[in-house]
Amino acid sequence: MINVVALFVITGFATGELAWGGTSRSLLTVSAFIGAVTIAGHTIGWLVMGIRQTHRGRLATNAAGALAVTAGLLILWTDNVIPLLDNSPTRYVLSAAFDGYQGNYGPWLIVVGVLVAGGAVLLLMGDAVTGWALRRSGDHADRTSSRALPRRRWSHSVLYSLLAVDHASVWRSTPLRRGVLVLVIVPGVVSALAGMSWQSLILVPGLIAAGAGLLFGINAFTLDSTGSVWLSTLPGWASPAFLAKSLVFLEVAMGAVLSALIGGSLRAHPPNAASEVTGAMMSALSCAAIVVALGMRSSLRNPHRADLQGPRDTPATPGVMAAQSMRFALVTAFTSLYFLMLAYSGLWWMPLLGAVPVLLLSALHWYRTGQAWAHPHVRASVVLTVAGG
């Protein structure tokens, strides 16, 4: 969602001075492009899901994915991203945005019409592809197996036991397991190959932390699923449960932002000042803390029932996911910009000092959420929702 907002802002800034008619037409072009690309992405996603129902399909998609990742990494490594974008079909969309701003209605209407018509066709195709993917029988039953699991060692505290349960819940869930691997590995690899500046690394944690929050952070108590009814009857469960969910959430968020930060620092250009390094570090820490605080509040106020077993399962409905994405993206983007401005001071201690109020406000927000969770009727509402809907 932060990319969508940035695309609108950049388009409005690049086309020229704000003008009601021209700017509206250029933004309409971008909206049509985003709609068509989004529908195409969903259609391709369901097509891949249908293909992956068989063993041969999984081998084919894994091979295609490995080739795509390899090609992308080579493009980053050889610094061919800009030339590739300059020669991509999206240049027609950019030209149409400028034509709309300047009042060249003919070329502008052609491109917008193609985008709208293409989106409509892809929507019809997507409906058919989704139905085919859901109806197709797979061979997943052939992969089922049973094995003996040793009894987990007894923990000396309730918190450690609940942390073990939450870790196991994340790792058992197909979408969460894949999401954690993608969030921790991909940002680090891409940042390392991109060779960004330290100023860019200050802005990266905002984007990564927002994505980590959407993995399960907006509905953290759904990790317990139906077992939450039984877990809630344990003595002394309330405070350790809230702390355990927060720690697991923080682990994922910090793992994602640190991966991007460490990976980017390997090939980053030398910093202009030590404040850029401390600014990137404080931006990563603060964005992770903010996302955890906001996510735990959302988990308490708006819990949802979600099994998180299917590969395309999400912790909440699409509308809630979109709203939370916008919320995380805006807050973390402004936080990253805040630390970027502090880094411009050239004083290495300025980002450290600026991080104090951000971290204190995040901790206060999280603490008040924990106090609300301490009320039995609040916990009962959350537990019944995540367990039974």
Could you tell me the sign of the dihedral formed by the alpha carbons of 184, 190, 192, 198, in that order? negative
Which pTM was predicted? Answer: 0.77
Q: What is the pLDDT of residue 205?
A: 87
**∠ CA(20), CA(23), CA(28), 5° rounding?**
115
Q: How confident is the model over 263-304, as pLDDT tens digits? A: 888 878 888 899 999 999 999 999 999 999 999 999 999 999
Contacts of 71 (CB under 8 A, 6+ apart): none
Structure-block tokens of residue 275: 């404040």
Structure tokens at 324: 């939370």
pLDDT at 13: 60
Q: 188: burial class by Cβ within 10 Å (0-12, 13-18, 19+)?
A: buried
pLDDT for res 34: 86
Beta strands in the chain (DSSP E): none
Residue 84: predicted pLDDT: 83
Residue 162 tokens read as 């609940």
Q: What contacts 86, CB < 8 A, 6 or more positions away? A: none
Is 281:261 a contact under the CB 8 Å cutoff? yes
Give the count of beta carbons closer than 10 Å to the beta carbon of residue 324. 23
Residue 7 reports pLDDT greater than 90: no
- Burial call 249-268: b when 16+ CB within 10 Å, e when fewer: bbbbbbbbbbbbbebbbeeb
Of 183, 189, 182, residue with least CA distance to 266: 189
What is d(CA 121, CA 85) in angstroms, rounded to the nearest whole number? 25
**pLDDT, tens digit, 9 for 90 and up, residues 103-151:** 888 888 999 999 999 999 998 998 898 888 888 877 655 555 556 666 6
Q: How far is CA 215 from the centre of its chain?
A: 7
pLDDT digits 0-9 by tens, 306-345: 888 777 788 988 778 878 888 898 899 899 999 999 999 9
- The structure tokens 């369901």 sit at 46
pLDDT, residue 286, reads 96
> pLDDT for 151-169, tens place per residue?
666 667 888 889 988 998 9
The pLDDT tens digits of the residues spanning 217-242 come to: 999 999 988 888 888 888 878 899 99
Amino acid at 224: D
Reference 303, options 254, 242, 359; nearest CA is 242
CA–CA gap between residue 263 and residue 189 (Å, rounded) = 6
Q: What percent of the chain has pLDDT over 70?
A: 90
Amino acid sitting at position 72: G
Quote the CA–CA distance of 271 and 269 in Å, as a whole number. Answer: 6
Measured distance CA(82)–CA(204) in Å, rounded: 19
pLDDT of residue 367: 96
Q: Rounded to whole angstroms, how far apart are CA atoms 122 and 98?
A: 26
Residues in the chain, total: 389
**Both tokens assigned to 176:** 């969460």
Q: Take residue 190 and report the two structure tokens written for it.
A: 């891409």
Residue pair 279/342 in contact (Cβ under 8 Å)? The answer is yes
**For the residues 21-36, what does the mean pLDDT come to?**
85
Region for residue 154 given its phi and psi (left: phi exceeds 0; alpha: psi -120 to 50; beta: otherwise): beta
SS (H, E, C) 10-55: HHHHHHCCCCHHHHHHHHHHHHHHHHHHHHHHHHHHHHHHHHCCCH
Measure the CA–CA gap between 205 and 258, rounded to whole angstroms.
8
- pLDDT score of 3 more than 80: no
